[in-house]
């Protein structure tokens, strides 16, 4: 799939990442190469191959069921754009 300049600008906008005009053309090339690689992967015949859940040959470690976190609400909410009564405020959600 060929990426265009507008795709990159839109993705950058959605991700809230500042991308200059110079950088944008470079990203078009880099991201297109990634997509080419995905195309290449999709060409491989994987019939009869079990899906791989994780590349590491290890199993999940479990933790004891203990409360180890303390209330750090004030710290976390310092980077939130709007808070009130301890709640994070977001643009109104309509179902």
Partner 1 sequence: MQWETVIGLEVHVQLATHSKIFSGASTAFGAEPNSQACAVDLGLPGVLPVLNEQAVAMAVQFGLAVHADIAEVSVFDRKNYFYPDLPKGYQTSQMYHPIVGPGEVEITLDDDTTHRIRIHHAHLEEDAGKSLHEDFHGMTGIDLNRAGTPLLEIVSEPDMRSAKEAAAYLKAIHSIVTYLGISDGNMAEGSMRCDVNVSVRPKGQEAFGTRAEIKNVNSFRFVERAIAFEVERQIELIEDGGKVVQETRLFDPERDETRSMRTKEEANDYRYFPCPDLLPVVLDQAYLDHLRSQLPELPAEKRERFQQALGLSAYDASVLSASRDMAEYFEEVHRVCGDAKQAANWVQGELSGALNRENLSIANSPVTAGQLGELVQRVLDDTINGKAAKEVFQGLWHGEGTSADAIIEAKGLKQVTDTGAIEAMIDQVIADSPAQVAQYCDAEPEKRGKMIGYFVGQVMKASRGTANPQQVNGLLKEKLDALL
Which residues form the interface with partner 1 (CB under 8 A)?
A: 51-54, 56, 58-69, 71-73, 76-77, 82, 84-93, 95
Q: Which is nearer to partner 1, 43 or 81 (CB)?
A: 81
User: In this complex, which beta carbon is closest to partner 1, that of residue 37 or of residue 80?
Assistant: 80
Tell me how far apart the alpha carbons of residues 60 and 24 are, in angstroms, rounded to a whole number.
40
Q: Which of 23, 28, 33, 37 is nearest to 7 (CA)?
A: 28
CB of 58 to partner 1, least distance (A): 5
């Amino acid at each position: 799939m060929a990426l265009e300049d507008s795709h990159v600008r839109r993705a950058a906008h959605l991700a809230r990442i500042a991308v200059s005009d110079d950088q944008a053309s470079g990203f078009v090339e880099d991201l297109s190469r990634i997509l080419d690689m995905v195309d290449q992967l999709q060409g491989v015949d994987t019939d009869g191959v079990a899906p791989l859940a994780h590349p590491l040959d290890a199993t999940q470690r479990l933790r004891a069921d203990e409360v180890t976190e303390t209330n750090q609400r004030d710290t976390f909410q310092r980077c939130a754009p709007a808070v009130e009564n301890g709640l994070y405020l977001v643009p109104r959600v309509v179902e």
